[in-house]
Amino acid sequence: MSDVVTAPDGIPRCPWGMESEQMADYRAYHDTEWGLPVHGDDALFERMSLEAFQSGLSWITILRRRPGFRTAFADFRIPAVARFTDADADRLLADPGIIRNRAKIAATIGNARVAAALAPGELDELIWSYAPDRADRPAPRSRDDVQPVTPESTALAKDLKKRGFRFVGPTTAYAMMQACGLVNDHLAGCHVRAAAEAAARRDGAGRSGAPGAAAG
């Protein structure tokens, strides 16, 4: 048996995509984004930043503020955020459209500066090098089958920290891996799971022998 939930529209989904009062927001994110491969330095920097802001909060809090985050952080364009000044940090602390956490704001700006020092495409390559071999990952059937930390997320977090990134611990790194399609944690029977697997095959995600997998 799988813990998927069939909605009134007759489509089976992971249960978190059907949580009552947030159903519309979660459903759209679940159906069209979560678990599908994400590439590009700026796109991955955005996901890394939002997952860091989510730490200690519910994801719906971040999801509903995502437009505000994008406006406040120059659409997460790495070179632009890397040029933010102390005045920008003060502006962000006064912005009601985001989570006004001084440490997380400072970390996001600092992370942009670290990312800006990398070669184009290097952040993408670094993160995706930690995608595990999908053949070794059976489809989860319940939330209990999905662990919040894995050897790969621990290794990725360690690598990012060594390079100077902050607020990306093993749990946050794994949440990013789930969101960006490095792993497919849609439950067995969820209608998105097959689409995510097909997208990963087209993308070449989770290739056996990826350097990050070996590093873990």
User: Catalytic residues, which ones?
Assistant: 29, 51, 59
**Contact assessment for residue 52 and residue 115, using Cβ atoms and an 8 Å cutoff:** no
Q: Which of 40, 41, 109 is nearest to 72 (CA)?
A: 109
**Contact assessment for residue 108 and residue 73, using Cβ atoms and an 8 Å cutoff:** yes
DSSP helix/strand/coil, 6: strand
190 assigned ligand-binding residue: yes
180 assigned ligand-binding residue: no
End-to-end CA distance of the chain: 32
Burial class from Cβ neighbours inside 10 Å (0-12, 13-18, 19+) for residue 110 reads middle
CA distances from 155 to 10, 34, 50, 130, 171 (A): 40, 22, 20, 8, 11
Burial class from Cβ neighbours inside 10 Å (0-12, 13-18, 19+) for residue 166 reads middle
Provide the 8-state DSSP code for 136: G
How far is 152 from 170, CA to CA, in rounded Å?
9
Q: Which residues are annotated as a binding site for Zn(2+)?
A: 14, 30, 186, 190
Residues belonging to the binding site are: 14, 30, 186, 190
